[in-house]
Amino acid sequence: MNKKQIAIFIKQRRKQLSITQEEVSLLSGISTRKLSDIETANSSTTIDILNKVCDTLGCEINIQIKGIK
């Protein structure tokens, strides 16, 4: 997944759960501005921050070797 795909996934998942950026920010402990940047692929972020957002949204990050499913 590239940064844009992650951004789209995070935003779609948040909307699927019908929660606002402000709610995700409060629950995950990150700023609304940072979440907005993640959802628009406008900035780099750390794995720790991405994990906080994913945990709040009920999803997780998985790493796999290319070509192996």
Q: What is the pLDDT of residues 6-23, one digit of tens each?
A: 999 999 999 999 999 999
Supply the pTM of this predicted model: 0.87
- In the prediction, which pLDDT does 18 show? 98
Instruction: Give the C-alpha separation, 39 to 46, whole Å.
Output: 14
Tell me the Cα Rg of the chain. 12
- Domains belonging to the chain, first-starting first, are 3-57 (1.10.260.40)
